[in-house]
A and B are shown apart, each in its own frame.
Chain A
Amino acid sequence: MKVFRLSNGQIVQIIDKEKIQNWDPETPVLFVNFILDKKLETYGGSKDQAEIRAYLNEILEDIAIPKLTNALKSPDQNARLAIAKSLVDISKKKPDMVKGVLGFLQDAEKVEKAAEVKANITQVLKNYDKALKRKQYEAKRKKMRELDERLKTGKISADEYVKERKEFLILGVETGAEED
């Protein structure tokens, strides 16, 4: 493990990058993305975080991205399908996890010839997009409660309210969520 001793005394250990070489093609990007998204901000100060980020970027550049892009371009259709299916699974369970691979998938979707692989890649993108919209919808719903109050007290005009309400309803339709 690579050991980071942070300025506040905290200890963080991250797997040696050589060990990541043996992972499945999509897992290293997901791992780096997970640490960047969920853990990094809890690690010491900005200097400590920069040091860890640099190591994660090293993993991304040296291993994770080449591994994923090579696999997505692999002549072996079954290998491409396995990655795409695995990502569909992850995008259903933990859509946030696939954020780091979206760009690569968008590129792959444009050039993919095999229908089944393409359909799975498209599904990952759709699942992520739906999850993102659902998050936006939840945030908007919270905002609408505040706007309801502000409309009642005359702190917001009817036009402004209608504009927000329309966006909220569209998001509701797009995500398949029902209005409360």
Chain B
Amino acid sequence: MCAKKQPAVGLSIDPAARKEKAISVLRDAFEQKLKEATQQGYDLPEGALVVDEIPADAAFKKTVEIAKTLYDQIMESGRFALDVPSRSSSNIIYDENNDLLLLGDKMNRKWFHSLTSVEDMTQLIKILEIVNQLLEKRIHATKREVFYNDVNLFKEQVNSDNCIEDLSTVLNTIRNSTNIVASAMGKAVGRLRIRDQRDIIDLEAMGSGGWAITPFLDNVEIIESDAEFVLVIEKDAAAMRLSEAKWWKDYPCIIISGRGAADIATRMFLKKINKVLNIPTFCLVDSDPYGHYIYSIYLRGSKKLSYESPFLATPNIHLLGVLTRDLDSYNVPKECRIPMNKTDITRCQQMLAESFVQKNTRWVADLELMMKIKEKAEIQSLSAHGFEYLTEEYLPSKIATADWI
């Protein structure tokens, strides 16, 4: 248990004035974002793979077209092959303008009549068959279910997972458009109303647990909101604190709990909100290299799913906290800070080496400070000043002073 200490001097101003200031900052950010959204289209850089979110019937047609092409090849020559976009790191492009990681247009030709690729190809064709059936029946399956569909063929789930990613790139679509979904961990609560097929769901009326983000996001539509920002929180415990306090009533927002690493459905849901509502989006993570890494996944996508980045990444998400400099600014007691270990230091160095980090001077400064003091702290360490410190002091101060990266 950390000793309770006084928060930083000068931060405890009149709460009503601070709230007014915070809301004013958010509204300016909203107007700016709305202006940018109406001015900008999204152009992929040259050489990037064009991937689209497509409806089930269009995806179904594509699977049939591929099957027909393969059939024609067999009838013509008895040998068939499929061009699969390479997902190796050498084929990943960093789109500097849009701050995204994308897949390039390098292809690997996979032959059925080749000892090196026959197994891969057989697994890939099986996935094609499964996706075709799912799309025809208009049902979804999880990656795990797909693996169990033919355990003898796939041997390990990593093989079926890889084939699912390969097929998505062959179809030039995102994985969700193949009706194969990953189980979702995230939760959302706050000032948002959505439609899930025939159901209208009010995210303010879901109890303190919030709405469990569905992996079937193609069924979900944003229909109404009076939120003025989104707050994505790494830790469920911190999200529960905000949820219990019904923080969104005071600060009109939507709270998303990623519950650790950002899963695909959570990122896709965040992207959907960001795209539709154009409201400022912030991230609250632990003050450690892994927290910064999680923020980076929300920001510009993961290398593994680089071809889906435009549909998963939220390039205008800001890192609100807990920044390294906050540890001193908000007087996080020394006993609540943890010395960084070797893994932390390596990860921090890796983060600093990333080109998307280097172009953000404020981010570099915070990571360099982390390397200097070699200390990390969890979001919960703020509760050393009291359980309500996060909701009543820290977050309002951070927003009111626009103190984010």
A residues lining the B interface (CB < 8 Å): 1, 3, 9-15, 19, 23-24, 26-27, 30-31, 34-35, 38-39, 42-43, 86, 89-90, 97
Is B211 interfacial (CB-CB < 8 Å)?
A: no
Which residues of B are found within 8 Å of A43, using beta-carbon distances? 226
CB distance from A175 to the nearest CB of B (A): 23
CB distance from B100 to the nearest CB of A (A): 24
Q: Are B277 and A13 in contact (CB under 8 A)?
A: yes
Measured between alpha carbons, how far is A42 from B200 in the docked complex, in Å? Answer: 19
Binary flags per residue of B341-384, CB closer than 8 Å to A gives 1, else 0: 00000000000000000000000000000000000000000000
Minimal Cβ-Cβ distance residue in A for B20: A9
Measured between alpha carbons, how far is A33 from B171 in the docked complex, in Å? Answer: 41
Q: Are B200 and A30 in contact (CB under 8 A)?
A: yes
Point out the residue from B193, B221, B228, B276 that lies within 8 Å of A11, measured CB to CB. B228
CB distance from B375 to the nearest CB of A (A): 39
Number of interface residues of B (CB under 8 A): 22
Q: Are A34 and B200 in contact (CB under 8 A)?
A: yes
B residues lining the A interface (CB < 8 Å): 23-24, 27, 30, 34, 193, 195, 197-198, 200, 202, 221-226, 228, 252, 276-277, 279
Q: Are B224 and A15 in contact (CB under 8 A)?
A: yes
CB distance from A87 to the nearest CB of B (A): 9
CB distance from B13 to the nearest CB of A (A): 20
Which residues of A are found within 8 Å of B193, using beta-carbon distances? 34-35, 39
A-B contact count (CB 8 A): 57
Measured between alpha carbons, how far is A23 from B195 in the docked complex, in Å? Answer: 10
* A11/B200 contact (C-beta < 8 A), A23-B195, A35-B224, A39-B224 known: no
Q: Known pairs A11-B27, A89-B198. 14 more at Cβ < 8 A?
A: A1-B222, A9-B27, A10-B252, A11-B30, A12-B225, A13-B224, A14-B223, A15-B222, A26-B198, A31-B200, A31-B224, A34-B193, A39-B224, A97-B200
CB distance from B79 to the nearest CB of A (A): 44
| Chain B interface, DSSP helix/strand/loop, else mixed | mixed
Sample of 9 A–B contacts (CB below 8 Å): A1-B277, A14-B223, A14-B224, A15-B224, A26-B198, A31-B195, A31-B224, A35-B193, A97-B200
Q: Are A86 and B226 in contact (CB under 8 A)?
A: no
Measured between alpha carbons, how far is A1 from B277 in the docked complex, in Å? Answer: 7
* A15/B223 contact (C-beta < 8 A), A31-B200, A97-B200 known: yes
Q: Are A27 and B200 in contact (CB under 8 A)?
A: yes
Which residues of B are found within 8 Å of A12, using beta-carbon distances? 224-226
Measured between alpha carbons, how far is A90 from B221 in the docked complex, in Å? Answer: 18
Measured between alpha carbons, how far is A26 from B198 in the docked complex, in Å? Answer: 8
CB distance from B191 to the nearest CB of A (A): 9
Measured between alpha carbons, how far is A97 from B34 in the docked complex, in Å? Answer: 32
The 4 closest A-B CB pairs, nearest first, are: A15-B223, A12-B226, A14-B224, A86-B198
Q: Are A13 and B198 in contact (CB under 8 A)?
A: no
CB distance from A110 to the nearest CB of B (A): 25
Q: Are A27 and B226 in contact (CB under 8 A)?
A: no
* A27/B198 contact (C-beta < 8 A), A10-B226, A11-B226, A11-B228 known: yes
CB distance from A147 to the nearest CB of B (A): 33
- Most chain B CB within 10 A, of A13, A15, A43, A86, is at A13
Minimal Cβ-Cβ distance residue in A for B226: A12
Minimal Cβ-Cβ distance residue in A for B199: A90
CB distance from A103 to the nearest CB of B (A): 19
CB distance from A73 to the nearest CB of B (A): 20
CB distance from A36 to the nearest CB of B (A): 12
Measured between alpha carbons, how far is A102 from B243 in the docked complex, in Å? Answer: 35
Minimal Cβ-Cβ distance residue in B for A31: B200
Which residues of B are found within 8 Å of A13, using beta-carbon distances? 224-226, 277
Which residues of B are found within 8 Å of A27, using beta-carbon distances? 195, 198, 200
Measured between alpha carbons, how far is A139 from B369 in the docked complex, in Å? Answer: 61
Which residues of A are found within 8 Å of B222, using beta-carbon distances? 1, 15
Minimal Cβ-Cβ distance residue in B for A26: B198
Which residues of B are found within 8 Å of A30, using beta-carbon distances? 200
Measured between alpha carbons, how far is A85 from B241 in the docked complex, in Å? Answer: 39
Minimal Cβ-Cβ distance residue in B for A33: B200
Measured between alpha carbons, how far is A19 from B30 in the docked complex, in Å? Answer: 23
Q: Are B221 and A19 in contact (CB under 8 A)?
A: yes
CB distance from B148 to the nearest CB of A (A): 31
Which residues of A are found within 8 Å of B202, using beta-carbon distances? 34, 38
Measured between alpha carbons, how far is A1 from B276 in the docked complex, in Å? Answer: 7
Measured between alpha carbons, how far is A27 from B224 in the docked complex, in Å? Answer: 14
* A24/B197 contact (C-beta < 8 A), A1-B276, A11-B27, A13-B277 known: yes
Measured between alpha carbons, how far is A35 from B195 in the docked complex, in Å? Answer: 13
Which residues of A are found within 8 Å of B221, using beta-carbon distances? 15, 19
Which residues of B are found within 8 Å of A31, using beta-carbon distances? 195, 200, 223-224
Minimal Cβ-Cβ distance residue in B for A24: B198
Q: Are A9 and B276 in contact (CB under 8 A)?
A: no
Which residues of B are found within 8 Å of A1, using beta-carbon distances? 222, 225, 276-277
Minimal Cβ-Cβ distance residue in B for A43: B226
Measured between alpha carbons, how far is A43 from B200 in the docked complex, in Å? Answer: 19
Measured between alpha carbons, how far is A38 from B200 in the docked complex, in Å? Answer: 12
CB distance from A39 to the nearest CB of B (A): 7
Minimal Cβ-Cβ distance residue in A for B30: A11
CB distance from B275 to the nearest CB of A (A): 10
CB distance from B231 to the nearest CB of A (A): 16
Minimal Cβ-Cβ distance residue in A for B24: A9
